């Protein structure tokens, strides 16, 4: 087993440069650094401090053997955990299972998490983890063994804990994997009463929180809805205030893409196109994402979905270039790049995935007048609700448990008093039930998420206008300023 922990570890698996492709398009970490450097020019902070804010503080790289009972042979599993910043603890970031995972990607995503948390005022440092496997090639039992072994490595190397580093789901993982991780952590810390807070994104029965599954997609919805309410944004994009009637194309029907599509569809928007890894579908009259997901699960493809045009794997990328009001990349990194940016015809790109737009593409889109709402703002809903789950686990009480009945009783007294003054019943029983009802956990989570995303959107737009910069640079500007203030107050700069 090879373990390296350092302040800055260069990747041994860094991909080779592809001839004819600009170098800044090759590497996700380079893309992140480019956006950071661009934003840093708008902040009055010394170069040394900026370099410290860009550098990944700690990295864990492990390799461990795994016996595949199907083949009878051993394979070496490579895994990572990066803690970008410990200016606030715990660090926070997802765990992804994917064959493309490498150290540079994990470090870039960890850095992105630091700034994402700062933008939405979540008091965490940024982290990220990954296991270099294709989860589709393993049985549930095999995935459990790999997940538990990875968790054991994190625990042994002090890269996990409720007050230290709190993982969450990401691409290729979900509540099931988080439940395994929590159980493994508890075996190492059986007397820790806060052990449930060692991961977020857990099942409800294991200490999870209602609303976490749809949190990122709902946050994407709240974010765009709030930007559309800003007169300056309306003028800039040519879009009206309401979500209703907006034409939307979504890349990716995973957790984020599906929930974002559903919330926009329910609000009256038209989902005219959806793209997946094995094809796409287009209908200018609109697609019901719930029905589409059922079709996808039954058939493994969009092919055959009624009243829609099917795009094969070879030409599904063309859907990203269809005319629409909003394009939502909710899949992988670098999907909008120098090859297709010139052909994009959306008015707004709403980044629901991490790093879907490369620096060269961003420059092209800006020149074309296409507004990009960056990932560090748009998809921060997941970490926001993860924060709520962490708080719930530390407080050991369900949100709403202490005040729900009190609020219902108070509301009932107000309605009874109004009825008495008016001399008649103000509302029928069904309406009275709605008016009287106190908030449950999901209501509180949705409310907190909406307030957080709306504040972040307004704050980002205000900085962009005041400094005459794009929204991504404005978001980074706000995050850098907040992190420096916290670090200086705590004396982190020596």
Catalytic residue positions, numbered: 128
Interatomic CA distance for residues 226 and 218, integer angstroms: 12
Sheet holding 279-282, edge to edge: 309-311, 279-282, 270-276, 247-251, 324-329, 346-350, 371-373
Interatomic CA distance for residues 288 and 140, integer angstroms: 31
Question: Concatenated DSSP letters for 213-224?
Answer: TTHHHHHHHHHH
- Alpha carbon separation from 492 to 5, 87, 158, 488 (Å, rounded): 21, 7, 21, 6
Interatomic CA distance for residues 100 and 169, integer angstroms: 17
Longest pairwise C-alpha distance within the chain: 81
3-state secondary structure 387-436: HHHHHHHHHCCCCCCCCHHHHHHHHHHHHHHHHHHHCCCCCCHHHHHHHH
| Bridge partner list, 167 | 93
Closest to 186 measured CA to CA, from 174, 199, 177, 175: 199
> Which tokens in the block code for residue 175?
């509540």
Closest to 232 measured CA to CA, from 473, 460, 450: 460
C-alpha of 484 from chain center:
23
Burial of 33 (0-12, 13-18, 19+ CB in 10 A): middle
> Which tokens in the block code for residue 369?
């007048």
Phi, psi of 440 (to 5 degrees): -95, -175
Closest to 159 measured CA to CA, from 54, 52, 86, 53: 86
Half-sphere exposure of 260 (CA within 13 A, CB side): 35
Buried b (16+ CB within 10 A) or exposed e, 429-458: eeebeeebebbebebbbbebbbebbbebbe
Interatomic CA distance for residues 70 and 67, integer angstroms: 9
Radius of gyration of the chain (CA): 23
């Amino acid at each position: 087993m090879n373990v390296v922990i350092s302040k800055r570890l260069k990747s041994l698996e860094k991909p080779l440069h592809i001839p004819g492709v600009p170098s800044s398009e090759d590497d996700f970490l380079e893309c992140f650094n480019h956006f950071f450097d661009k934003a840093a020019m708008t902040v009055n902070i010394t170069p040394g401090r900026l370099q410290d804010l860009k550098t990944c503080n700690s990295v864990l790289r492990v390799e461990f053997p795994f016996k595949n009972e199907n083949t009878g042979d051993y394979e070496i599993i490579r895994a990572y955990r990066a803690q970008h910043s410990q200016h606030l603890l715990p660090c926070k970031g997802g765990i992804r299972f994917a064959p493309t995972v490498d150290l540079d990607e994990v470090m870039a995503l960890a850095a992105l998490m630091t700034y994402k948390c700062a933008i939405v005022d979540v008091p965490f440092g940024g982290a990220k983890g990954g296991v270099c496997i294709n989860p589709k090639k393993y049985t549930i039992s095999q995935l459990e063994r790999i997940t538990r072994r990875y968790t054991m490595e994190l625990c042994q190397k002090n890269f996990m804990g409720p007050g230290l580093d709190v993982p969450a789901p990401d691409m290729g993982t979900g509540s099931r994997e988080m439940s395994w991780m929590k159980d493994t952590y508890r075996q190492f810390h059986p007397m820790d009463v806060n052990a449930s807070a060692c991961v977020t994104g857990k099942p409800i029965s294991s200490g999870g929180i209602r609303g976490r599954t749809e949190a990122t997609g709902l946050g994407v919805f709240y974010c765009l809805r709030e930007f559309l309410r800003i007169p300056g944004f309306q003028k800039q994009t040519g879009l009206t205030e309401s979500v209703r009637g907006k034409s939307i194309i979504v890349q990716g029907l995973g957790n984020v893409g599906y929930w974002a599509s559903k919330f926009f569809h329910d609000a009256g928007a038209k989902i005219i196109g959806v793209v997946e890894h094995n094809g796409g579908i287009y209908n200018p009259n609109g697609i019901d994402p719930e029905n589409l997901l059922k079709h996808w699960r039954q058939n493994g493809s969009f092919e055959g979905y009624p009243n829609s045009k099917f795009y094969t794997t070879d030409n599904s990328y063309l859907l990203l270039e269809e005319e629409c009001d909003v394009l939502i990349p909710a899949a992988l990194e670098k999907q909008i790049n120098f090859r297709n940016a010139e052909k994009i015809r959306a008015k707004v790109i709403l980044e629901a995935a991490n790093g879907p737009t490369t620096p060269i593409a961003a420059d092209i889109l800006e020149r074309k007048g296409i507004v990009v709402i960056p990932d560090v703002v748009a998809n921060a809903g997941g970490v926001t609700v993860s924060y709520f789950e962490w708080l719930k686990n530390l407080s050991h009480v369900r949100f709403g448990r202490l005040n729900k009945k009190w609020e219902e009783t108070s509301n009932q007294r107000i309605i009874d008093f109004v009825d008495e003054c008016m001399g008649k019943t103000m509302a029928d029983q069904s309406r009275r039930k709605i008016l009287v009802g106190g908030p449950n956990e999901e209501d509180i989570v949705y409310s907190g998420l909406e307030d957080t995303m709306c504040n972040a959107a307004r704050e980002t737009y205000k900085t962009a206008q005041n400094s005459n910069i794009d929204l991504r640079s404005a978001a980074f500007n706000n995050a850098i300023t907040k992190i420096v203030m916290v670090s200086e107050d705590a004396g982190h700069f020596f």
